[in-house]
Amino acid sequence: MTLVLFLIVITLLVIAFAEPLGERIGVVAPVILLVVGAAAAYLPQVPEVFVEPEIILQLILPPLLFATAMRMPDHDFRRNLSAIFALAVLLVGVTSVCVGAAIHFLVPEIPLAYAIAVGAVVSPSDAVAVGIVRRAGVNRRIVAVLDGEGLINDASALVILGSSLLAARSHVTAGEVAASFLWAVVGAVLVGYCVGKVAMLLRRFLHHASSNTVLSLAIPFAAFLPAEEVGASGLVATVVAGLVVADAAARELHPATRISDNRTWDAVGLILESLVFVLMGLQMPHLINEATASGFTFAASLWVALAVWVVVLVVRCLAVAPLLGFLRRSTVRLRKRSVEDAAGGTSRKRTVRRLADGAYYAKKPLGVRAGGVIVWAGMRGAVTLAAAQTLPQDTPARGFLILVAFIVAAVSLVVQGGTLGWVVAVLKPGADEPSSPEEREWVRKQLDEAAAGIAVPPSLRHRLVSQGVSPAKVPHATLIDLARAGRELMAESPGEAGGVWEYAAERVSVQREALVRIREAGLIDAPDFDRELRIIDGEQLAVEALARDGSTGALR
């Protein structure tokens, strides 16, 4: 037990210092964690490590994907859904078949069905690339596409893996495989949506921020387990639940709860993601021993893995190229449809959303340079290793195939992850341009107009005017003005002072609702929404603190 606790402490220290060390030496943190884990595995004091795949697939991945979904702006996900679907579903399927054919060609004794199963194992990309491109300040649409791909492709790869193994052991038709895949997605969406809605309903009854955050820790597992029970994808259900919670959080959760959620899930995500790469390194000796027992040398495994890695990159490149053309044509069609909607009397809400989407695509285009970044950012990681270990024990050359999958993940992390920042600098896919001052001013105007619609209590109006606030500016009085008025009313008429905070709280509430409606219409970028929401949250917390204390000394 002492050794286990010591290893836990060392692991947490490595995780904590990997990110700042990586920034200092120019190496991504997962590569450092992978190397440290592999080096530690050969120390005589460290026992041989074998991690059951269920630990990663059922215990680590659900909260990890949920944390990513919580950070994903829902309108960015919607706007890039076609690209995300192409990369996370279609590309995964094509990659599985191409890699399977390559493995079967290089090692004929491995049946094609099992080879395709290994292709499914190495087909999903890892979300670790998102942090690299985000720090590089690239076009935020690239980040949204990579984020969305990482959310969905794990589940699609596991579904294809299961179908391939089923085909290897029994006779199934293409229709049965398609039906299984369709239910895995549709069933998961239904389960995830219901769990997300029920979770938000329950969270309304918890007014303590820490207790509410504890409840949120159960949501990914509450979505994963029932989805798996009905034969759907638990990971897709987890992602959908995360998107539902993220969409409703700004409107339904108290600011203190959202702050607690963000801090907790950031820490959970960092620990779990880093732990996966440490475990990958620690399992190196075990994987090499299994491959040797299968009758293949490490050199043979390395050669096949490098060939598979090249196939994965080539297929990804061939898929991204036509995708970019499709997205350009879709943007043109959207603009034409927006004009037709405006002329044909289509609902204003739909027209506004399409116009906003068109402006988003025009402002954040995906050209050839962006496509190059998307191709090179397709690194393999946690799911590849976990899924490889789910191969049945009687799989031909099982140890060899698992080691091949591990090497593909390791090489992609080291080579692509180590050079992705350089690739971004060379290709220059376009920086993420902030919104214009006019756009930000328009948002503030909408929020001010929403606040002006709240009736100002007569006693408060009189007090503000006596303080020098012009009658026209009374509905837009600052929090400091309201605090001073509340202090004076508290001294003269305590019964009327409470109305000041009720008015201030209602004003904050309608501004938040107006901000959410602007987001739903697609008229505000995610960074601007987050900034305005933080301002509104700060005002709400200040109003509540002043109302509790009955004092404004901090604002004097």
User: pLDDT-derived band of residue 340, with 50, 70 and 90 as boundaries?
Assistant: low
Number of C-beta neighbours around residue 23 at 10 A: 12
User: For residue 3, what pLDDT is reported?
Assistant: 62
DSSP letter at 134 equals H
**pLDDT > 70 in the chain, percent:** 92
**Predicted confidence (pLDDT) at residue 495 exceeds the cutoff of 70:** no
Angle of helix 417-427 versus helix 128-135 axis, rounded to 10: 40
The pLDDT of residue 238 is above 90: yes
Is the pLDDT at 307 greater than 90? The verdict is yes
Q: Residue 551's pLDDT is what?
A: 47
For residue 347, the model assigns a pLDDT of: 56
Pick the range with the lowest mean pLDDT from 12-26, 115-129, 143-157, 165-179: 165-179
Q: What is the CA radius of gyration of the chain?
A: 27
> Where do we find the tokens 């002492």?
2
What pLDDT band is residue 316 in, cutting at 50, 70 and 90? Answer: very high
What confidence tens digit (pLDDT) does each residue in 44-96 have?
877 777 777 788 788 888 998 898 888 888 778 888 889 999 999 999 999 99
More confident residue, 288 or 220: 220
Q: Where are the domains of the chain?
A: 2-427, 437-555
Which tokens is 237 given?
């259900």
**Residue 128 vs residue 64, higher pLDDT:** 64
pLDDT for the residue 492:
72
Residue 329, pLDDT score: 81
Q: What is residue 314's predicted lDDT score, i.e. its pLDDT?
A: 95
CA atoms within 13 Å, Cβ hemisphere of 415: 13
Residue 135 pLDDT > 60: yes
pLDDT at 294 over 90: no
* pLDDT, greater one: 26 or 39: 39
Q: What is the pLDDT of residues 430-457, one digit of tens each?
A: 777 777 888 889 999 999 889 888 888 8
CATH classification code of 2-427:
1.20.1530.20
Residues with Cβ within 8 Å of residue 544, at least 6 apart in sequence? 505
C-alpha pair distances (Å), 274 with each of 144, 271, 372, 465, 521 = 22, 5, 26, 57, 37
Q: What is the pTM of this model?
A: 0.84
CATH code of 437-555, in short, is 1.10.132
Confidence of residue 241 (pLDDT cuts 50, 70, 90): very high
Give the Cα separation of 91 and 145 in Å (integer): 13
Residue 414: predicted pLDDT: 84
Task: Read off the tokens for 257.
Answer: 């709860």
- Per mean pLDDT, which range of 15-24, 150-159, 370-379, 493-502 is the poorest? 493-502
Query: Cα-flanking dihedrals φ and ψ of residue 398, to 5°?
Result: -60, -45
Q: Which residue has the higher pLDDT, 556 or 417?
A: 417
* Band (555; pLDDT cuts 50, 70, 90): very low
